[in-house]
Structure 1
């Protein structure tokens, strides 16, 4: 939201109150708070203290390396929910120091310094370096002539500093120059709207800023004041947290420690998912033919998904199988699972008026009501639909009870669609929540409800969602996918930009519809999308009005699907490790280049490729002529598929067949590759091959290969001169070592040591 008219003037509808100077600072060492009282005009004499507004700015810290700021005009407003749940280490209290010239609050290596004289200024400092500052006219309460009030902060940007994140944004990857509203909407991938709006950004200077408001937060990223990021909310107060690095990974570790880390996922979720698509016609025979067709063509399939029409039209959701096409759902699910697949079904939190659950939910008070006491309804999506009120614990249990029936029938996972079009006016939530704050937060309650049930029924590490909407903290309930994209090269690229922005918003896992959702992709688009999708954290073939089985396109599409599905499954010893890092540290599996190479300014704006973990650079082909361009940082990078070497830092350009793309192994990598290519569920450390890529002399590192269905193994890899020594005290039988992607040159049978020439 913009309040100014150019640099000098204020828009006529606003009256500004800016923090101008510091009148007083009070510290509470026991509580670890520092409160600054800032008049909104210069105080030159006693008469100036009368009839003058004042802003109160309180600094505190929830965790080391994080400093919280709360800006208040009038503090008498009653707090309303919902609020983000923040995880705070027990017993932590920051240091506060009140000096003659400057007041300081120190949290680990991060501190905020507020000069007590002169114009308003607050510097956030780490390692002796100013990360960002709140300067003159940064802290403001803006009064609209209609009586509304807004509070804003502006934090300074350095020349060349890039801003990332703010959720799954499908526009430009760097947010500089953009206007971004944190407001979930169902707008597809071709607009400025987002399904997953997250009020958190990080910058190339190695710090992040989390605005602690679930309602609409408006960002002006160098788009109101070119050298500042402005963020504002409606009301009398604004709270935000500055999160220190020094690296972007450190920022994400701290941010996800505060807002929640992604749950661990089962191995089977990393295999290929296939769906019925949305409006296509299907029954058990159709579904069986798809699964059998995959098996006949030796295309490994892990999950089959039933989209909306597993239920009867006009009755979404009643959670009952359509008896016209699925007369024996329990028997059908058993027959399908005998074919070796898990089952996922589509759901959403909307209850159509024709559903039997509507009357039940309305009678018991489980559906959202208007301020006049009626059930809130509209006709978008489903005729007369209502909305489950997840702020009511009984409604939450009711919804879970309906889903448990499906789990008992044999369903393994849920696609939790929708959750964005939530009314923000004239409704009354069961727990009294503010409708504005509930609009974005509703997705969090919805997905947490379903995830909680799956954990209770299937156990920790076995709960899988395929969710579309989210906000801050939603990363705890994976997986998330990119929503409705077109079946074009351009939409393939915009989907990737959304995933990269989400990765820098704390989300560890992400997927997209291979081939695109809307329309039917031409054969070339489909075959180019396949490697991109199968080298993403999660891989799903899905469409709208047409099927996405590979043989519907051509035989080469079948071959490409087979090649890259098998490649992904063979990489499970590696993918399992980076998946654990996503859950343990909050570092995404699919990483923007800047996350791995923050010191290389050549990576700061790259948004057409990604690092899959720390070792593999994946560069999809977005052109019909097959030309793929890849930026490689410094070093000798080896193409994973053909063994060719490219030297960085440089852009490379190659023409690829449909069976290839830019996928390069980072120099200095030990890549564990498994022997199994038909399932993600195997003992990853057994028969593993450690492939060595450009290890420098003096290399000495330890690699842990996770166990999968077996035991994990630890390997120490050392290079001295031309010899590489690999040893393990706990490896299972049959591991081997290969150099630069070649055939294994040494094999060990159990614990031991092998030596190879580098």
Structure 2
């Protein structure tokens, strides 16, 4: 069978088929299996829900040509991308133009039968070829040498793998996928299931991320306050003491927008009724929420997707079948988490529509009572025998459950709004996680190693399709002796030039713990954060359209510059800024400026050619940040919280890096750049202060600004 978007082969007796679709430009979908698996008829409700978890776009939208390949087999071409397949087995070759960028071996017959079948796929890698994505790591961003299992929570795995050579792959399943990158010269993938569903991508990494997130879903644009500074309450700290910390910061000129209440959960089901009650840690929630609102502080707090064991409600829901059960039909008991205060509880079966709807509705009520963002960790190491009402068990249930929990909470905070503005916080990773804002960073040590770990974690999930992962400035649960003023300020500066970060409420980790000079520098960096908000918000808005992360690794942003890939603690913040955080004590660091662009130092205004390496000595009030030539940086006013920012006048100043060639990334503003006769004409800069690069001059013409060479 052949159409403009699909080619299909009959493989052997029994109705087995291989189907390849031009799913989107540069994207091939390969499915192999029994005909009954490929075309099951009208899908069951369970099958449709699982398909919706995996793909936001089911239908193929591309077109391709099919012809015989010169080396035998068949060549499928769409634009610059081509897939050759042929031989006794399905040997795959991906092409970008005339260059073969990837080769793989895929037996068309799996080992085993039915749902227990195992499909082995082996990619041949070049000796110097890096492989990126596949979830969160605190080590090297190049994942070669690792072994990962998709449903093992400790592996922090995500489905997408890609190479700077110009190809990527994604196995589309909720079942177990094993990634073995430890062997020399190969990348082995083993996936389980009756059939194989594999997406292949050809193109630049940025285009691969674009197509992958268009396929699997993207988060909406949150409102402005989540991009302000956060404070994580210390364990055991009272609500009033946290508000007092915020008042103290504000009195010292330090900005802050949100407070995350510490575990245990701030709300949960009553013992005998399916309604929420606020924790007695906040005896007067309404009064506390009103006091926070008076300070323009938004509140977040954790919850558990379950009901405490030994309560009448537990017994009632056991009778209703609303809890996940073990092999004997008894509720599976989680032994306790920080959110439950260590108390055992039964997990709500979120595959049950009534249970999921109730959990969403209760959180919607909590949002109406002043909870701005729920926090939930729902990635449990569920034993294979645990089963949901819909029949999900094993790896499928372990993968699907955190998605169901995140979806239910996102519906509570964002579903009632148009557009869907809202965030819920979680560390959970699962296929499709990038649909939901906001991803939390890891708990790390309070030393230089911890600082590097949180940065690499954010860059690695960005390589995997997650647009936003935040950072914690320190860890309340670890010794604080190593967190010197120098490290604190370097960590803070990186957090300012990131998606976002949070202070830790432990007194030893608060700005008040440091001397007056250090506190003045902290206030300096927080002013920078709020001036950057229009740009950071614009990057997140851009992610809604492109799927690109806020912090972009060098391998993702500059795949053709192999020298740049080893600089895995440098990153692009959006399209316009290169950030090179200082990662060791002493104040001396090296910076590599990637090839293909010229760069302007934000601190000095000096211009540097790309492909060069420099040793710099930034003071504690300076971070090595370079503007990309042809781009602009739009800055807003300083503020103590986002409530002080006039949404109608969010911009104050524009910095230009050479002659403007690109429209700036900025929230809720339409600024357009046009070139003509060696000059740039820009609309939308009315009332803004403009700082051109050296050698350029600014002339205003009513609503239009002309940038030209100085005479």
Query: If the TM-score is normalised by the length of the shorter chain, which range does it land in?
Result: 0.7 to 0.9
Give the aligned partner of residue 102 of structure 1. 73
CA change 1:351–1:654 in 2 (3 A) is farther
Q: How far off its partner does 1:371 sit?
A: 2.8
Give 1:559's aligned residue: 520
Change in CA separation of 1:725 and 1:235 when aligned onto 2, cut-off 3 Å: closer
**Cα 1:91/1:405, change in 2 over 3 Å:** closer
Change (3 A) 1:444 1:542: farther
Tell me the alpha carbon deviations over residues 473-524 of structure 1, each in whole angstroms, 9 at most, x when there is no partner. Answer: 1111011012222222112212222211111111111102112454143234
1:424 Cα deviation after fit: 3.9
The residue number in structure 1 matching 2:378 is 419
Change (3 A) 1:139 1:428: same
Q: 2:473 aligns with which of 484, 505, 514?
A: 514
Q: How is 1:24-63 mapped onto 2 (pairs within 5 angstroms)?
A: 27-29=1-3, 32-35=6-9, 37=11, 57-63=18-24
How many residues are treated as equivalent by the alignment? 687
- Tell me, yes or no, if the aligned pair for 1:517 and 1:542 is still in contact at 8 Å: yes
Partner of 2:658: 694
In structure 1, the residue matched to 2:55 is 86
SS of aligned partner of 2:405: helix
**2:463 aligned residue:** 504
8 Å CA contact 2:268–2:278 kept in 1: the answer is no
Match of 2:206 among 249, 257, 263: 249
Q: Which runs of 5+ in 2 are unaligned?
A: none
> Is 1:141 paired with 2:110?
yes
- Matching of residue 738 in structure 1 with residue 663 in structure 2: no
Structure 2 counterparts to residues 93-132 of structure 1, below 5 A: 94-95=63-64, 97=66, 99=68, 101-115=72-86, 121-132=91-102
CA distance in 1, matches of 2:77, 2:180: 28
Residue 484 in structure 1 maps to residue 443 in structure 2: yes
SS at match of 1:218: strand
User: Paired residue for 2:232?
Assistant: 275
Cα distance, 1:399–1:520 mapped onto 2, change above 3 Å: same
Q: Which residue of 2 aligns with 1:392?
A: 352
Mapped partners of 1:747, 1:301: distance in 2: 38
Higher helix share: 2
Instruction: State the shift of 1:670 in Å.
Output: 1.7
Change (3 A) 1:76 1:592: closer
> What's the TM-score, normalizing by structure 2?
0.88
Q: Following the alignment from structure 1 to structure 2, what is the Cα–Cα distance between the partners of residues 736 and 718? A: 21
Other-structure match for 1:405: 365
CA RMSD for the aligned pairs?
3.4
Residue 576 of structure 1 is aligned with which of 521, 530, 537? 537
2:130 to 162, 172, 175: 162
Select 1:378's aligned residue among 327, 330, 334: 334
DSSP 3-state at the match of 2:74: strand
Instruction: Indicate the residue corresponding to 2:630 in structure 1.
Output: 668
- Aligned-pair CA distance for 1:746: 5.4
Aligned partner of 1:41 in structure 2 is: none
Match of 1:598 in 2: 559
2:242, 2:509 → 1: CA distance? 12
Q: Evaluate the alpha carbon distance shift between residue 705 and residue 513 of structure 1 in structure 2; reply closer, same or farther with a 3 A threshold.
A: closer
Q: In the TM superposition, what is the alpha-carbon distance from 1:431 to its structure 2 partner?
A: 1.2
**Alpha-carbon separation, structure 1, partners of 2:456 and 2:672:** 36
1 CA distance for matches of 2:605 and 2:705?
26
CA distance in 1, matches of 2:367, 2:295: 18
| CA spacing shift, 1:349–1:310, aligned 2, 3 Å | closer
Give the secondary-structure state (helix, strand or coil) at the position aligned to 1:598.
coil
1:334 aligns with 2:290: yes
Residues 205 and 604 (structure 1 numbering): CA distance in 2 closer, same or farther, change over 3 Å? same
In the superposition, relative to structure 1, how do residues 201 and 119 fare at CA in structure 2: closer, same or farther (>3 Å)?
closer
**Residue 230 of structure 1: aligned partner:** 188
* Residues 378 and 386, structure 1, Cα contact 8 Å, conserved in 2: yes
1:749 Cα deviation (Å)?
Answer: 9.6
- Secondary structure in structure 2 of the residue aligned to 1:308: coil
Q: Secondary structure at the match of 1:343?
A: strand
Is 1:344 paired with 2:300?
Answer: yes
CA contact (8 A) 1:736 1:747 kept: no
Instruction: Output aligned runs, 1:310-321, within 5 Å.
Output: 311=266, 319-321=276-278
Task: Report which stretch shifted further, 712-721 or 157-166.
Answer: 712-721
- Cα pair distance change 1:309/1:553, threshold 3 Å: farther
Q: Which residue of 1 aligns with 2:160?
A: 200
Q: 1:666-692 CA deviation, whole Å, 9 max, x = no partner?
A: 233222122344444434766532212
CA contact (8 A) 1:640 1:665 kept: yes
Q: Structure 1: how far apart are the matches of 2:479 and 2:622?
A: 22
Counterpart CA distance in 1 for 2:307 and 2:475 is: 28
